[in-house]
Structure 1
């Protein structure tokens, strides 16, 4: 598990920097995300051989995600070798946010936090 600490703009891309350095060779994006509603995180799946690595975007990064969400800039995770693009990240995040909106199955506290930061109910009549 890797926790993203910050997201930085570099040229026309975004770089997610984790709490550990990723020295992995052969790290592949899965193009899928999960929600950890108890831990208040969006989790992007990365494959490393037969294993999955969870790249966690916890609440401390949600404002950055909200800020960059409409930019459609490619998001990469920094590794020692080279950045790895998190394919389908924005599509997956949008899909999850659409499902979270008003859905108490994610837990009231999680839904309220997501609504507050991502403005899920803005534009409703």
Structure 2
């Protein structure tokens, strides 16, 4: 069974996009897969990481999207972080851009998911 890792906070620090989690596992025990999914029922993006016990899903809820948008615009690398370290999320930017493009205007993701993604990621900057 796959475990879920919840992103509890996202911020930009030292030109890096940091996705923080309460996960107690050492980051060195995880490896980035460069693959992402969408959970439109929970309004989340999912980044897949590999662990010796199988895949784990990093759940990125809507509360983190604003920081992610700023990080994408600035071209920052993304990292999953906890008290014990950080893991570079390979291909995060490309995967996010691909998903955002596919979700925009696509009712297959559900009207509410489309609206939320468009408001955060495709709205003109003020």
CA deviations on 1:60-107 (whole Å, 9 max, x unpaired) are 111111121111111111145431100000100000011001110001
Offset of residue 23 of structure 1:
2.5
CA distance in 2, matches of 1:13, 1:40: 24
Map 1:1-125 → 2, pairs under 5 A: 1-119=4-122
**Higher normalized helix content (fraction of residues):** 2
Q: Rate the CA distance shift 1:17–1:67 in 2: closer, same or farther, 3 A.
A: same
5+ unaligned residues in a row in structure 1: which ranges?
A: none
Contiguous gaps of at least 5 residues in structure 2: none
4+ residue runs over 6 A deviation = none
Q: Which moved more, 1:58-67 or 1:78-87?
A: 78-87
Deviations 1:10-63 (CA, angstroms, capped at 9, x unpaired): 323222111333325431000010000011000000000251111111111111
CA RMSD of aligned residues (A): 1.7
| More strand, by proportion | 2
| 88-97 or 11-20, larger mean C-alpha shift | 11-20
In structure 2, C-alpha distance between the alignment counterparts of 1:7 and 1:106, rounded to whole Å: 24
How many pairs are equivalent? Answer: 121
Separation of aligned partners in 2, 1:12 and 1:116: 24
User: Is the contact between residue 21 and residue 82 of structure 2 (CA under 8 Å) also seen in structure 1?
Assistant: no
Q: TM-score, normalised by structure 2?
A: 0.86
Tell me the CA shift for residue 5 of structure 1.
1.5
Q: Aligned partners of 1:76 and 1:68: how far apart in 2?
A: 11
